[in-house]
Every structure is written in structure tokens, then in C-alpha cells.
Amino acid sequence: MNLDKREQMARKRAVWLRNYQRARGRALTRLAQQYPDQFKEILEEERLSDEANGKAWLDISGTTATDVGFYLPPHRQDGTYRSGQTNGDKQNEGNVGGEA
């Protein structure tokens, strides 16, 4: 009986989380389209923060820098932004993942 209740609550939570993440994803897409420069800037700041704090995944198992000691990939050791290294001319830039 207790297992049934836990399973029911887990299913309810999974449905809620799926619906929330779906709506949140659409909202982020709309914000990214309305404010592309600010969105890219904030996204890059957050990515760098994750790397600096050892919270970025290093592989598919979920291993982070705090699990194995701090690691900075060779292409990041000079302190340049990844977005500045790729597509700098924005020639190949497309829709920011949004629905038309």
C-alpha cells in the first residue's frame, strides 16, 4: 500500500515536472528571441559559472570537476568565450530553438 502511494506521487510529480519544463522551455525561447544579446550574455555567464564552480558535466555519467578535481579544457585555458570562438561572424546563426 505504501509503495502504491509513493508510485502515484512519483507519477504526479513526473507529469508536473514535464509540463513545467515544457512551458519553461517555450518561455526561455520567447525571451531569447525578444532579447537575443542579453540572453546570450547571461547564458555564457551561467556556463562559465558552472565551469568555475565545478558543476559542469565532464561526461555522460554526470561526473563534474568537483568529483575529479578542477579541470579546465585546453580550449578554455586562454580565458576566451566559446561563443566568441565559433560563429563569430554570425553567418550560420539560425533561429534560437524557437517554434515559428
Say how far apart CA 91 and CA 71 lie, in whole Å: 32
| 35 located within any domain | yes
The C-alpha cell at 55 is 558543476
Quote the number of domains for the chain.
1
- Determine the structural domain holding residue 9 and report its residue range: 2-77
Say how far apart CA 50 and CA 64 lie, in whole Å: 10
Residue 12 above 70 pLDDT? Answer: yes
| 89 located within any domain | no
- For residue range 50-83, list pLDDT tens digits in order: 999 999 888 888 888 777 655 556 555 555 545 4
| 26 located within any domain | yes
pTM of the shown model: 0.51
Say how far apart CA 25 and CA 13 lie, in whole Å: 18
Distance between alpha carbon 46 and the CA centroid of its chain, in Å? Answer: 8
